[in-house]
Chains A and B, each alone.
Chain A
Amino acid sequence: MAGSHSHKQDEDLKITPPLWLLAELTYKCPLQCPYCSNPVDMAKYSNELSTEDWLRVLREARELGATQLGLSGGEPLTRPDLDIIIKEARDLGFYTNLITSGVGMDEEKIKSFKEAGLDHIQVSFQASSEELNNFIAGTDAFQHKLEMAKLVKKYGYPMVLCFVLHRHNEDQVAEILDLAIALEADYVELATTQYYGWAMHNKEQLLPTREQIERAEKIAHEYQEKMKGKMRIFYVVPDYFEDRPKPCMNGWGNIFLTIAPDGTALPCHSARQLPGMEFPNVRDYSIEHIWYGSSDFNKFRGYGWMKEPCRSCDEKEKDFGGCRCQAYMLTGDPANTDPVCSKSPNHQALLDDVARIESDFLNHVEQKPLVFRNMRKSKELVND
């Protein structure tokens, strides 16, 4: 059982500062992307932190050494106090990243955020074509996003464009990158869908085929070569198709601290689903206590909690055994090896599952419709 591990083996465990603070300001969002990483039961956590709470969180995290700040959500633009939060963050010395869909943005906001000290804006797109973009987003946002991307550049921000890839747009990678070039993006993230939250719920309808992935990777590499020195392109193979796990969050409680909209502090944005955890809330505890003193943040730090095959693996310092949430979702125990690893006894079951989903798709087995992310649906799923 996960709870029976002690930290005695980790007496020399050194806790490093939380360099990255992800402030999920809200779960509200005008978009309904079916791969959203927010929790499916997000409707339960609608009690958002106040402006004062957030300003205190920023001050305390900065004091501990946090340098990068992600302002995310949901859609952070739905918070009317966003400019106050940006200004405080900049005054404290954070590098401040706004991670937005662009919906709810206008020129006035882009300009006033710049004056408040915002460093960077990441705009997400759902696809390179208007029709697919608007279908996935569940709203007519494409033209507005194009306009916003142009304004982000006009006001001198470095711009990251983020495209989440899945079965329905994986074959558009060339068109996506052409669009990014036309919009003069500085960075493009071809962000493969990770199967957490709503994406996990829609896994059967989102998982691309192996052939799609190989094609997309080849095209991404061609563009990386072609755009060298002009635009940086990040493409990561979906981990379900790998045989070694990702070093998730660079290790549990190592550099990443997420604060959810209701103030719950998490080592990653999907950790709330793990069983037997009672993550601390910033309404009750200081960031210092949460980071250094809370049992849940210490739970998977270091290597003492590991089971075999991780415990004796010579790659454990490289990948930390992968992702705790994925281990839990796919094996029922978050202390197990992430089944993405070919050394995991559960790896074959994952391969079989991926093969079955691919075969169902290629053989046109009738698919359930995509479940779009919204509060109404979340309430339904909570009550199920």
Chain B
Amino acid sequence: MNTELNNEAVPSISQQFRFQWEEVQKGYVILYPEGMVKLSGSAGEILRRVDGKTSIGSIINDLEQQFDGVDLKDDVYKFFEVAMENGWITLT
């Protein structure tokens, strides 16, 4: 059980939340009892790679490849901190 944010940790969307694309809002959202958070484009790009199998390190690599090799490590970690605080993700 890995509970610290590091490159080996594997995040999953918590059972208490749902993550999905909303066509009308043209964006990803997090859904929970009677509530919804609309995610920014970059937050959506990160969370859509969270599948309970891919490690944070692989997610960063994948994002950096897609976005022309820009260093995204800090941004991704910052987002995962917020996601942990809100209980959106759990780590294994």
Contacts and interface: CB of A to CB of B under 8 A. Distances in A.
Given A119-B18, A186-B16, A95 B25 contact: no
Contacts of B22: 65, 67
A160 interface: yes
Contacts of B40: none
Q: How large is the interface on A (under 10, 10 to 19, 20 to 34, 35 or more residues)?
A: 10 to 19
A110 interface: no
Nearest to B18: A95
Contact of B24 (A65, A68, A120): A65
A67 B33 CA distance: 12
B32 interface: yes
Nearest to B17: A158
A68 B36 contact: yes
Contact of A187 (B15, B23, B33): B33
A123 B22 CA distance: 28
B20 interface: yes
A67 B20 CA distance: 10
Contacts of A64: 24
A120 B15 contact: no
Contacts of B32: 95, 120, 158
Contacts of B24: 17, 64-65
A307 to B, nearest CB: 32
Interface of A: 17, 19, 64-65, 67-68, 70, 93, 95, 97, 119-120, 122, 156, 158, 160, 186-187, 229
9 contacts: A65-B25, A67-B25, A68-B31, A95-B36, A119-B31, A160-B33, A160-B34, A186-B33, A187-B33
Given A17-B25, A122-B33, 5 more contacts: A17-B24, A65-B25, A97-B33, A160-B34, A186-B33
